[in-house]
Every structure is written in C-alpha cells, then in structure tokens.
Amino acid sequence: MNYWLVKTEPSLYSITNLKLDKVTLWDMVRNYQARNFLKSMEVADFVLLYHSNVTDANGVYGLAQVKKVAIPDPTQFDRKSEGFDSGSAHDAPRWWSPTIGFKEIFQNPVLLHDLKKDSRLKQMQLLKRGNRLSVLPVSETEFNVIILLAKETR
C-alpha cells in the first residue's frame, strides 16, 4: 500500500469534477519523474488531491484511490490533443495513466499554509524547495496527519 499526492488546477479539473465522474484516467502528465510515480501506483493506493494555482487557497481538497494500474496515456497518440507526443511509439509508449476513483471531499481542506506549519510534515516532498512535480509520494505518517487535519473541526 502506497500513498501519493497529485496536483491539479481546479479550474481545469477539481475534486468536484472527480466526484461527478466517479473515476477518471489521470492523463496528460508529461514529466518523466512524475510518469515513473504514476507507473508505480497500485490498485487501492490512496491519492491525495491537491489543488494548485488557487489564489490564497492551495491545498489538499480530497481523497481518491487507485482503481486501475497505469495504461498508455491515449492522449499521447491523439494528434488533436494537447498531450500529443510525436516521439512516442505505440509499441513503446512514453506516457502512462492510472485510473483513480473518487473517495471524498474533505470537510476541511488542508491548505498549503497548514501543511507548512505542521512540524510532522517537515519532510514532505511537496514542501521541498521548488518542487514542481505534479505527482509525489507521501509517507504513511504524512498521509495520516493530513487525514487527521482534514477531519478536525475548526
């Protein structure tokens, strides 16, 4: 069992969209390190959904779970898609997408500000200087702390 955090711009795709869709293929990731993390996701892994590029409100907004391991991202072969990659061969796809399913929208979103001030989360990959990766591993401890913060009544 592994724990992950994926970033998304809510104006493009938010936890609410995932709730409506129930499941979604996590496509369009075009960074090799992030791709490697996507490929190592296993069914039932938990995935924290992080909203980025929100004025004053970046943070973890909900929880998802891996439903299917990664398949080749279909957008890389689609000429009409922004994700099209002419350098990717069908027999050796570059980009991969797991399917994730909706679990919950947090009662209290755990904002970036809250993550930063919690001493138990000092080691979080997300908080490392300049980390722009859109898919990151989260430790079990960090995951549990974030879930606790999300359930806290404030």
Partner DNA sequence: GCCAACGTTGGC
134 binds DNA (CB under 7 A): yes
38-97 residues in contact with DNA (CB under 7 A) are 52-55, 58
Task: Give residue 73's identity as a one-letter amino acid code.
Answer: D
Task: Kindly state the smallest distance separating residue 61's Cβ from DNA, in Å.
Answer: 12
Exposure letters 12-32 (e unless 16+ CB within 10 A, then b): ebbbeebeeeeebbbbbbbee
Binding DNA by CB under 7 A: which of 112, 121, 145, 147?
Answer: 112
By beta-carbon proximity to DNA, the closer residue of 72 and 83 is 83
Give the C-alpha separation, 14 to 24, whole Å.
11
Residues of this chain that interact with DNA (CB under 7 A) are 7, 9, 31-33, 52-55, 58, 112-113, 129-134
